Structure 1
Amino acid sequence: MPADYRVESILVADCGSTMTKSAVVDLVEGQYRLVTQVEVPSTVEAPWEDVSQGVEHAVAQIERASGRILFDEQGLLITPERAGGQGVDAFVITTSAVPPLRIVLAGLVQGLSLASARRAARSIYADVVEVIALDDVTERRSEEERVRLIQQARPDVICIVGGTDGGATTALADLARVVTLACSLLEEEKRPVVIFAGNADMRLEVAQIIGEEAHLKVVDNVRPTLDVENLSPLREEIETIHSERKMAGLPGLAVLNAWNPQAIMTTAQAQSRVIEYLARKYGPQKGVLGVDIGGATTVVTVQLDGLTQQIIRTDLGTSYSVERVLDQVEMDDILRWVPFSIEEGEARNLLLNKSLRPTTLPATHETLLLEQALAREALRLALTEARETWPVGQASPYPHLSPMFEPIVGSGGVLSCAPRPGQAALILLDAIQPIGVSTLVLDRRGFVAAMGAMASVNPLAAVQAASLGGLVNLGTVIAPVGQGREGEIALRLKVEELHLEMDVPYGSLEVYRLPASEPLTLQVRPQRHFDVGWGPGRGRKIQFSGGSVGLIIDARGRPLTLPPDRDRRQAKVQEWLWGMGA
């Protein structure tokens, strides 16, 4: 490729567990635009079991919709773009359809080394299927029971952790012997990789114990001292194994690799790039939050105080992972978000039907609201775990509440396919419970992952295409922190250009549908018991735009508490839905 070669047209694809999205971004009148996009069912599962077929179906639809020829006579993608407009200059692809690594964690202390190892595993597409903790007094397992546990878990990876550097030795040696025995009883091709991330002084002894019974990887201790956590070496090793054992084995990936000289990124990696870009754009005063609620996986990515963190929950999703969500959430917690009465068994069956037919749309309004309620709880679970390691800095004036974010980006089918934008906004508000002033942004076209991947070949194309149709501004949210009597005035607002004044009562969720074309000036004056980010009772003028939902004032209180009485609760939920235009 010539040194002065310029990438102008880009074909992007994101292969999810449920749907495959593909689009063409091209230079139009001096700016990069999303010119064509389609979405088709993914072909990862039977009867196809070939991820490339879904991409080929999507690209064929793009050809039909745009009249642009993308494949040559041999069925190969035309790159670079020809003088006649056939083909594209580059192709980038992301995927979240790769099966997660099955990991068994074995360690000494649940609240220290094992907690650190779990956090490292959660930042990769990995599923912690079993934990063996020597300090677990509730389950006094024998050595034989632990060996059987490992065999039944069928892990791809066993991670041994424990002991500070120079600390415990005997218990670690015993644990290594259990792991070695379990591996020796498995067929050689089914034996897991063993990663040792414990007491550095034990590396040689652990290697001698394991010997030839398993492939051993040694990385730095996740807990070199009691107050120091070192996750990066373990995380990088798990990521490498995932790439070698899972990504490389994805059916049909070889076909897509032939189209694409760039390394295929996971959807989560690409999303992380976007969050880091937004953090640079908006500055360090607040954090940036991205959430992706998928069919099989929920991903939370945050940038706070210059640090990017990501948690990937492969057990939380709205279709393939429904049953696993139901195992972790009480049905009452899901039903509190719907404005109607339904038997728990019936609700459970309706939700489980989604796991049997992941690509189907809700048949009734009630089923739609049930699926959205499930999404709230899946996201709440992921956020609860993610918050454990978020730094407490200037963006977190109230450590027991959500930090202040600007913006909040929502992705995933349950949000992007919501019939009304107000429904997507309400899911985000209920699950995240933001404080202060935030902008809600919806990844309506499933474009965030593509934007992150595109940045590797043309950063300007990624930014311009996202701003010109890839991302949708739902609206500005003002969420005061403070307690008051329901109906008491919490905020006074004035939109200067429209000469519009508003008094917002505590306990309410108000939406003002305002022009979205031009920025507006808003005077925000909280009452003395309420704080919107500048201190109790302190107000300010801000610039905002209306968005597709409008100016949203969430004065329901933080943390959000729903009425315990079922009838009152359902009436409140219905009121909020109507208020949001949902």
Structure 2
Amino acid sequence: VKLMTVANVRPVLEQENLAPARDAIHDLFLEHVMAHAPGYNKLISWADAPIMPTPGAVGNILQTIAEQQNINALGVDIGGATTDVFSVFDGTFNRTVSANLGMSYSISNVCASATLPMILRWVHLEMDPRELRNHIKNKMIRPTTIPQTREALVFEQAVAREALRLAYIQHKEFATTLKGVQQQRTVGDTFSQNSSGASIVDNMKLNLLVASGGVLSHAPNMNQTAAMMIDAFEPEGMTVLAKDSIFMMPHLGVLAQVHPRAALQVFERDCLIYLGTCIAPRGVYRPGKSCFRYHIRSDSHEESGEMLCGEMKLFPLEEDERVTVTVEPQRGYDFGAGSGKRKEFQARGGKVGLILDARGRPLAVPTSEKDHLTELNSWIEELQLYPEPALTEV
């Protein structure tokens, strides 16, 4: 048995050094698992650079983007069997692979983990539970099939929301500060300082959210992709939404190793499709109460209004259009400047546009059937999620 030694993963209590151990495990994976893949040895002879697994390559391009643009970024790649989540917050990169959370081979596990009531809270159509169970099993044994009816599409996207939500929860539990580190405290920190081991993933600090994977990248309507991302990840403050149009992120991740600038340029011009911007406050959902007032202005447009709790509004904006959005939240709602304090954002457009979300954070979907369907239908209508022509593209 070959024995490998690497540097201590935690040389001192205040510092972690995971890279050497991670690289060693990665090398073992390539040597003992990937080496048995058909044609792998021939592939190695063709390539001058090391072969990278898909999650490693996607994480590499996300790190490059975050570093070059000095932003906090989150990426997700949802597949048939697993869901990968990548994040870069304040320069710290984390990657998690949620096994058994996928849209075909693992769809049954998603339904079991999330429970059917949690999935059905995203469904606005009447569905026979027996047909739903049949759909789940058929998807497992025929993983390449795509939805052929409105009902199947709505249900599959509801499952995707829950798979993404569960994967994100697992990611936040993994991406934490060091536990057991002694913190210096002052009297002023008594009521504000976080305990050690807290998650470093903060939705209020998130600048860019990138989606990848069939159910997100190839949704019939890009508004559906944006809605799934917002419902699953619950971004706060201002967050730019984008998707990987042609599953190019893994290839660009490899390219970024040898030419970061070229990889970033191709990513921006040919790979990334900007969907738009989501602006949402942190605060508890209070039915019927005022959430915030907004004022949107640009060179050619100006609009003001009020958002009630539970509402969503879509403002179509061109991809190259920029607008200034000023929000004045009610007490108890925070856009990043503090509870009830005014905040100004510079928002960009996209294929979807600007989305204002006043449903509260954490997101609370009404439980009563009447209120649930009323609000869900209002969101679907406002975001234009399921127009008739779009279904013909499925």
* TM-score, normalised by the number of residues in structure 1: 0.58
Evaluate the alpha carbon distance shift between residue 480 and residue 392 of structure 1 in structure 2; reply closer, same or farther with a 3 A threshold.
Answer: farther
Q: Does 1:381 align with 2:166?
A: yes
Which residue of the partner structure matches residue 574 of structure 1?
A: 377
| Equivalent residue in structure 2 for 1:562, among 337, 355, 365 | 365
Residue 244 in 1 paired to residue 31 in 2?
yes
Q: What's the CA shift string for 1:62-116, capped at 9, x where partnerless? A: xxxxxxxxxxxxxxxxxxxxxxxxxxxxxxxxxxxxxxxxxxxxxxxxxxxxxxx
Which letter maps to 1:496? Answer: R
* Residue 550 (structure 1) aligns with: 353
Q: How many residues align?
A: 365
SS at match of 1:310: strand
2:336 is aligned, of 529, 533, 555, to 533
Q: How does 1:91-490 map to 2 (within 5 A)?
A: 231-232=18-19, 234-283=21-70, 287-391=72-176, 402-483=203-284, 485-490=286-291
Distance in 2 of aligned mates of 1:270 and 1:218: 25
| 2:312 pairs with 1:509 | yes
Distance 1:236 1:264, change over 3 A: closer
Letter in 2 for 1:456: Q
Cα RMSD after superposing both structures: 2.8
Alignment TM-score, normalising by the size of structure 2: 0.83
Deviation at 1:230, TM superposition (A): 6.2
Residues in 2 aligned to 1:469 and 1:460: alpha-carbon distance in whole angstroms? 14
Residue identity in the other structure for 1:579: E
Please give the secondary structure, in 1, of the residue aligned with 2:33: helix
| Identical counterparts, % of pairs | 38
Q: Is the 8 A contact 2:275 2:353 kept in 1?
A: yes
Tell which structure's C-alpha radius of gyration is larger.
1
Aligned-partner Cα distance in 1 for 2:254–2:8: 32
What is the CA–CA distance in structure 1 between the aligned matches of 2:152 and 2:50, rounded to whole Å? Answer: 39
What displacement does 1:545 show? 1.8
Pairwise CA distance, 1:383: 1.1
Greater relative contact order, per chain length (Cα 8 Å cut-off, separation 6+): 2
* CA contact 2:313–2:355 (8 Å) conserved in 1: yes
CA contact (8 A) 1:509 1:576 kept: yes
Distance apart, 1:223 and its partner CA:
7.5
1:229 to partner: Cα distance:
6.6
Query: For residues 556 and 227 of structure 1, what CA distance do their matches in structure 2 show?
Result: 39
Alignment partner of 1:430: what SS?
helix
CA distance change for structure 1 residues 258 and 368 in 2, over 3 Å: closer, same or farther? farther
* Distance in 1 separating the partners of 2:262 and 2:19: 31
Question: Which residue does the alignment assign to 1:31?
Answer: none
Relative to structure 1, the CA distance from residue 578 to residue 445 in structure 2 (aligned partners, 3 Å threshold; closer, same or farther) is farther
Deviation at 1:458, TM superposition (A): 3.2
Contact map agreement 2:238 2:345 (CA 8 A) in 1? no
- Structure 1 residue runs without a partner (length 5+): 1-213
* Aligned-partner Cα distance in 1 for 2:89–2:348: 25
In 2: Cα distance, 1:227 partner to 1:348 partner: 49
Aligned partners of 2:282 and 2:360 also within 8 Å: yes
Deviation at 1:537, TM superposition (A): 2.3
Question: How many Å apart are 1:219 and its aligned residue?
Answer: 5.8
Cα distance 1:225–1:323, how it changes in 2: closer, same or farther (>3 A)? Answer: farther
Deviation readout 1:272-301 (Å, 9 max, x if unpaired): 1222122224435xx311111112221111
Deviates more, 1:555-564 or 1:385-394: 385-394
Matching residue's letter, 1:439: V
Any idea what the Cα deviations from partners look like across 1:560-580, whole Å, max 9, x if unmatched?
111112343233223222222
CA distance in 2, matches of 1:257, 1:224: 35
SS of alignment partner, residue 543 of structure 1: strand
Contact 1:331 1:344 in 2 (8 A): no
Deviations 1:288-328 (A, max 9, x none): 11111112221111111221011012321111222333342
Deviates more, 1:407-416 or 1:564-573: 564-573
Deviations 1:351-386 (A, max 9, x none): 221222222211111111211111111111211111
2:65 counterpart letter in structure 1 = L
In the superposition, relative to structure 1, how do residues 500 and 455 fare at CA in structure 2: closer, same or farther (>3 Å)? same
